[in-house]
Amino acid sequence: MSTLFIDTSYNQTIGLLGNEGTWLARKTLEGQKSSSILHAELHAMMLSVGFKPAAITDVLYVAGPGFYTGLRIAHGLADMMRLEGRTLLNLYNFEIPRLLGVSDYTWITKAYRGEIFVHKNGETFLLSEKDFLARSWEGNIYIHHSSALDEKMREKIPQALETEGFLLDRILEIKTALKTNVVLKDLYYFRPPEEEFKPSV
């Protein structure tokens, strides 16, 4: 029995996790068009480890923050598995430090459109890139991934740690923490869909 892992909040990562918390297989696809081959990649991955769909007992997926289209890919695949009887677990990227025991921290990623997404001690907000660069950032700083911020922004927070790495390296610890309070979260977009799809003037 295994867990299917899906993260389409930035790049697209799929993986199969065994009972002991070890990765049986994992692959990260980069680029906007990789979503069109995600199902085929999952099928190939299952064949490579000799799995049939019935071997998947639960699904763990990242529910954001991210863009509407990307997040819907993971949610749609997970929801399809739920209809077939699998248990679902999900999390937000900015929860990873808390799930690993860190209580006071700031989590940062690029929200594009000249804005930065910030989660700090339970509150979330968008800052302009100018405001972000003007502020002083101290303490425990986390980012999703170094490629999710440009070089100038990374220089502003050289102490930042990448939560994507923690998620993949400490997946069993995170999954165990999630199981203590199983509440499925809504997808968390950088902006409401009506804002995200509003034509630029």
CATH number where 26 lies: 3.30.420.40
pLDDT of residue 34: 62
Residues 27 and 115 in one domain: no
Number of domains in the chain: 2
The answer, yes or no, to whether residue 198 has pLDDT greater than 90, is no
pLDDT of residue 32: 55
Residues 90 and 127 in one domain: no
pLDDT digits (tens, 9 = 90+) for 72-126: 989 999 999 999 999 999 999 999 999 999 999 999 999 989 999 999 988 999 9
Q: Count other C-beta atoms under 10 Å from residue 176's C-beta.
A: 12
Count of residues making up the chain: 201
Find the domain containing 178 and state its range. 2-94+167-196
Residues 114 and 191 in one domain: no
pTM beyond 0.75: yes
Residues 107 and 146 in one domain: yes
In a domain, 201, yes or no: no
Residues 127 and 180 in one domain: no
In a domain, 148, yes or no: yes
Residues 73 and 138 in one domain: no
Q: Are 88 and 58 in contact (CB under 8 A)?
A: yes
The answer, yes or no, to whether residue 200 has pLDDT greater than 70, is no
Average pLDDT over residues 43-52: 92
pLDDT digits (tens, 9 = 90+) for 127-173: 999 999 999 999 999 999 888 899 999 999 999 999 999 999 999 99
